[in-house]
Amino acid sequence: CRDQCAEQFASRRWITVIPIDGDNWPSALARVQQDHGINRISAIGGRQTATSLIDAGVIDDICLTTTGVTGGEPDTPFYTGLKPPTLELIVRKQSKADTSPILFEHLRVAR
The whole-number pLDDT of residue 33 equals 92
Furthest-apart CA atoms within the chain: distance in Å:
48
Extract the runs of DSSP E, i.e. beta strands, from the chain.
61-67, 87-94, 102-109
Cα separation, 55 vs 25, in Å, equals 10
Segment-wise mean pLDDT, segments of 10 residues, the chain, 111 residues: 88 86 86 91 86 92 85 82 94 86 92 75
Yes or no: say if 63 and 42 are a contact pair by the CB < 8 Å rule. no
The whole-number pLDDT of residue 42 equals 87
